[in-house]
Structure 1
Amino acid sequence: MTMTSSTGLRPTRAPRQKGWYIPWIFVGLFLVVAAVNGVMIHFAFSTWTGLQTEEHFLKGIKYNQDLAGARAQAERGWQVNVDFTSTEPLKGLASLTLRDKNGALLDGATVKIKLIRPTSVGHDVTMDLPYLGEGRYAAPVTLTLEGQWDMRVEIQHASGDYQNQKRVWVQ
């Protein structure tokens, strides 16, 4: 609302009502919340690798069987030394030494390893390790990325089976 002074030269305004800025505070707070939500949504979509557990329902049902298998594996007491040695960039040697609980060499086993990239999909490598003698299984490995990998070992033998996982670093 504008009014003119008695001289008619300058328009004057009526004084603002008390608390006129309060609705703008609410608008500002909602804009801040919307901006923060937008940033969080951006980071959620840009950093999600798409990794998920396959057949999660069936794995949950078989959990008690997995616990019984772990107990049986512990009772066998096998001595398994798993190692990954980087030989050159993105290449290495996966090796394993297998002995029973008395220290006797175990031969005739089928040893399979799977190198899993924990942060991205599509780079996993699965291979069989051949028996080299004296309880040792090994093979050269070529990978696509450097960094941390999970090396999952699965051993099948006439006296039982074994599985374990080790985190390795590839240079």
Structure 2
Amino acid sequence: MTRTPVSASHVPPAEAPLSATQSAWQSPWVRAWIALIVVVLAVNILMVTLAVVTSPGLVVDDYYERGRAMEESIRSRAAANKDHMLEADIPPDLRAGQPKNLRFFVVDKVGQPVTPDAVRLFAYRPSDAGQDFSLPMLVEAPGRYGAEVSFPLPGLWDMLIEVTEGEASYRLDKRLYVNP
């Protein structure tokens, strides 16, 4: 058995060092990282633009007074729970644009009907303050009040019923979902 000499041409060449003409931009890893950064920046710019251009209508001019009114509502509800029982009868199938009768009941702690000075219903749309409205609730019987309500848009609504009795006012609030 004879051996053939191995020539230098059969030996794989050692990898040559990067020359000055090759740059890091040719690496797929560098390109992937740059593409990821560009995508993240583009999404952030899009979100900031949408936040500035579309106004959700959630900011109110009298935010401090509204906060104080909410605090008063919580206190009056606690006081009303001791002296009065407030309950709303809301139909479960509320639909946008269709009038429905909402009823409200006020009784004292022993169950006798209460006749307050005024009962008013307020409807607030959290996403669009321009759609907010209020209605007086009319006396149907002692301690029972009603109003025919038609919500203009589907979605979530905050309903507040305010009972005024002399200097005192009591409130009942509920969150409603109005079907399309």
TM over 0.5: yes
Gaps of 5+ in 1: 1-13
RMSD, matched Cα: 3.3
What is the aligned residue count?
157
Q: Please, which runs of 5 or more residues in structure 2 have no aligned partner?
A: 1-17
Distance 1:63 1:145 in 2: 24
**2:148 maps to which of 133, 140, 145:** 140
**Equivalent of 1:15 in 5, 19, 42:** 19
2:109 matches 1:101: yes
Residues 99-150 of structure 1, C-alpha deviations (whole Å, 9 max, x = no match): 0111000124310011111222211120100111132100111221123211
Q: Specify the structure having the higher radius of gyration (Cα).
A: 2
For residues 81 and 34 of structure 1, the distance between their equivalents in structure 2, rounded to whole angstroms, comes to 51
TM-score (norm 2): 0.68
Letter in 2 for 1:36: V
Partner SS for 1:143: coil
The structure whose residues are more often strand, as a share, is 1
Paired residues for 1:15-34 under 5 Å:
15-16=19-20, 20-21=24-25, 28=35, 30-34=37-41
Identity %: 24
Query: Quick check: which one's helix share is greater?
Result: 2
Which residue, 70, 73, 94 being the options, matches 2:80? Answer: 73
SS state at 2:131 partner: coil
2:88 to 82, 103, 106: 82
Letter in 1 for 2:46: V
Of the candidates 32, 40, 51, which is equivalent to residue 44 of structure 1? Answer: 51
Normalised by the size of structure 1, how large is the TM-score?
0.71
Matches of 1:158 and 1:61 in 2, distance apart? 20
